[in-house]
Structure 1
Amino acid sequence: MARRDIAAVIVAGGRGLRASASGDPLPKQYRPLAGIPVLARTLHAFLAHPAVGRVQVVIGADDTEHYEQSVAALPQRDGLLEPVIGGGTRQESVFAGLHALRNDPPAIVLVHDAARPFLSAALIDAAIAAAQAHEAAIPGTPVTDTIKQVDEAGRVVETPDRDRLRAVQTPQAFAYPLLLDAHARARGEGLSSFTDDGALAEWAGAAVTVFPGDTHNVKLTTQTDFDAAEQRLRPENRLTTRVGTGFDVHAFADGDHIWLGGVRIAHTQGVTAHSDGDVVLHALTDALLGALADGDIGSHFPPSDPQWKGASSDRFLAHAVALLHARGGVLDHLDATVICETPKVGPHREAIRARIAAICGLTPDRVSIKATTSERLGFTGRAEGIAAQAAATIRLPETSTGPDWL
């Protein structure tokens, strides 16, 4: 399907009275959120999406200046059509946006609330796919609270099964002819109070499918919502996931034990190493340093420095964790695989997990230790040495100095 076949109608004509109760006279869709207007954030999500060819905004009659100030913040406007003026209800505004597209009708139209600036590209993908499959589809998330239906006096008359309930979001996705016809029919019958295009499509006889929504796709309605959104966008609260890998190997030598994951294990041999030769902790340290993009274990603890001769490798891993915490990062998970014929790792697995967790300030369920052989191939197969590979999953505060659009 070509880009021009998919259009988005952004409803931005409301007054946002509950949010404006805070004293801010601006309608909520034009208010700044971490320095960027809410509407600009919402528009950017669609304009930056590779499948969306056109974006039609519907604004209030008195909001042209607010609109121009908002779109001035956009990094690019390709595909953004001239805004149209909406009506007195949301339904009338959506119809105005649909009507504006009539001379070059798209195959699919996505209808979205301007006050939902956190929608993801993945949610737009899901909406388009659902419209292609079903012609009428709306995103919804499971309801976690028990819902009560009450009468005029506040007495409970029914408790619906919440497993069958969904909290509906936007963008809602439709075959354009289907939704335009439903709106035209409703107008013809004098109906103008539908607050949800899914409900209007149902009224018109369409089968409406619910596809999974996104809990991050919140609608900014009250001042509390804006406060939470500002907090969410603070740089120190925006964390980016990174994954680093590490590998280490040591040759066996004379001795009666080796160190694995901070645990001393009796063995018929030791290892040749400048420090204690703990391949697991060395690999994990390199994995963490890799995720931090901060060199490797040799650059932090050079073998040429005599102070590290015979050093306990827990110091190396603890140092990498400290570097992570100094940058405001979070250590999510560590995973290591030991490669050797002997010794057997299984009997020591839980002790190793517990020791690594203690070094890193984690719970053991966030540390994975596995072991394998090389099927008697190579130096490990000939029992000439031992190796370990590792992965570390971390989250770091974002460091970009540009605007955070999503």
Structure 2
Amino acid sequence: MPTCTALIVAGGRGSRFGGPLPKQYATLAGQPVLRRTLEVFQATPGIDHVQVVIAPGDEGHYRAAVGGMGLPPPVVGGASRQQSVLNGLEALAAQAPDLVAIHDAARPYVRVSDIIGCLEALRPGIDGAVLGVPVADTLKKVDDAGLLAGTVSRNGLWRAQTPQIFRFAELLAAHRAAASLARHETSALTDDAAVAERAGLRVVMVEGHDDNRKITTTDDMVSTMETRTAFGFDVHGFAAGNHVMLGGITIPHSQALAGHSDADVALHALTDALLGTIGAGDIGKHFPPSDPQWRGVSSDRFLRHAVDLLATAGGRIVHLDLTLVCEAPRIGPHRDAMVESIARIAGIDRDRVSVKATTTEGLGFTGRREGIAAQAVATVEVPRR
């Protein structure tokens, strides 16, 4: 598989935005715009690394926005977007990825599935792929006096978005060549596709979605996302053994949980909850117990699958809440390790995971120590349809 680095351009000043911070650092639904954008690319299969380009003097804003994301130090951009992209490309030259995905930091609504679509469009003989949407409005020419001067055919016209994904070496060469042009010659190079076109590269358009809009004014901060909540429940009885799997960790116990996989009742409930947020059925639909390939498999694969389906739908996890119902083993000593494990599997911060435990006061099958039940609630954001 070719390697791909996402180069997130966050060097703009956003003069039309009008807020106290540059728009890429403004808060959108509780998170900086830049962080929301980065989370999408970190969740995209095929994106191996993420590098951010920032404006000089924005180092403090950057650190506050991306804390805990494990990103490399930012690259400092230039006086123009084109120069900022070139600075970013030059910083990646030693690493030399096969592909580079250029994306505006102020487009936080991009979908994982659309990024994947651009990656898949880079077939042999194609140098770049640009995300965009066909023009649907009627286009009019207007003269200097403001009078209509004609109608422009919209056949073949598209609105270009980002990401724009290219073969790295070819785009770097194209940007280096464009950097030597006079200012009046570069004024028409408003995106990386224009730089690629000037160099004679073969670039295809990939249809995306209208909601992948770029934040320009504070009005654009109205989220296109909706919040959904779904519930998951699972039960496993005890069998002979010396440990149980709960939340992706091994807990010593006098018995094991019986099940076709590793019987991790906690991860099964969380998987069902996440699948429910996007109407994707239940765990049995995706991993039938009648299929021998899932016998004894680690349940982190099930939860990761649900997380990937959510990301492909353009969604993100807001919070996962898990309650375990059992008399034994004691959950308290293992709570922090379970939180850490679930957060790692789901690709979210620890503070977005809650693990609780209770008993049924000796009542029912859990009270008789015959098994463990788990209840899970998943809260997510997904694009409005």
TM-score of Structure 1 vs Structure 2, range by shorter chain: 0.5 to 0.7
Aligned-pair CA distance for 1:71? 0.1
Matches within 5 A, 1:1-400: 1-2=1-2, 5-20=3-18, 24-72=19-67, 76-77=69-70, 80-133=71-124, 134-191=126-183, 192-193=186-187, 194-226=189-221, 228-229=222-223, 232-233=224-225, 237-239=226-228, 400=378
- Residue type of the alignment partner of 1:212: E
Q: Which residue does 2:238 correspond to in 1?
A: none
1:317-372 Cα distance to aligned partner (Å, 9 max, x none): xxxxxxxxxxxxxxxxxxxxxxxxxxxxxxxxxxxxxxxxxxxxxxxxxxxxxxxx
SS of alignment partner, residue 9 of structure 2: strand
- Residue type of the alignment partner of 2:227: R
Contact 1:41 1:405 in 2 (8 A): no
SS of alignment partner, residue 17 of structure 2: helix
With normalisation by structure 2, the TM-score equals 0.57
- Residue type of the alignment partner of 2:76: I
Q: Which residue does 1:372 correspond to in 2?
A: none
- Residue type of the alignment partner of 1:137: A
Name stretches of at least 5 consecutive residues in structure 2 with no aligned partner: 232-278, 282-376
Contact 1:10 1:55 in 2 (8 A): yes
Aligned-pair CA distance for 1:205? 1.7
- Residue type of the alignment partner of 2:5: A
Contact 2:8 2:51 in 1 (8 A): yes
SS of alignment partner, residue 111 of structure 1: strand
With normalisation by structure 1, the TM-score equals 0.54
SS of alignment partner, residue 19 of structure 1: coil
Q: Which has the larger radius of gyration?
A: 1
SS of alignment partner, residue 83 of structure 2: helix
Change in CA separation of 1:190 and 1:240 when aligned onto 2, cut-off 3 Å: farther
- CA–CA separation in structure 2 for the residues paired with 1:127 and 1:168: 13
Contact 2:174 2:196 in 1 (8 A): yes
Change in CA separation of 1:162 and 1:53 when aligned onto 2, cut-off 3 Å: same
- CA–CA separation in structure 1 for the residues paired with 2:22 and 2:102: 19
- CA–CA separation in structure 1 for the residues paired with 2:50 and 2:147: 45
SS of alignment partner, residue 155 of structure 2: helix
- Residue type of the alignment partner of 1:29: Q
RMSD: 2.7
- CA–CA separation in structure 2 for the residues paired with 1:163 and 1:241: 43
- CA–CA separation in structure 1 for the residues paired with 2:382 and 2:13: 23
Q: How many residues get paired?
A: 239
Change in CA separation of 1:197 and 1:157 when aligned onto 2, cut-off 3 Å: farther
1:76-123 Cα distance to aligned partner (Å, 9 max, x none): 42xx33211111111111111111100111111110000001111101
Change in CA separation of 1:153 and 1:201 when aligned onto 2, cut-off 3 Å: farther
Aligned-pair CA distance for 1:401? 5.0
Contact 1:31 1:37 in 2 (8 A): yes
Aligned-pair CA distance for 1:49? 1.8
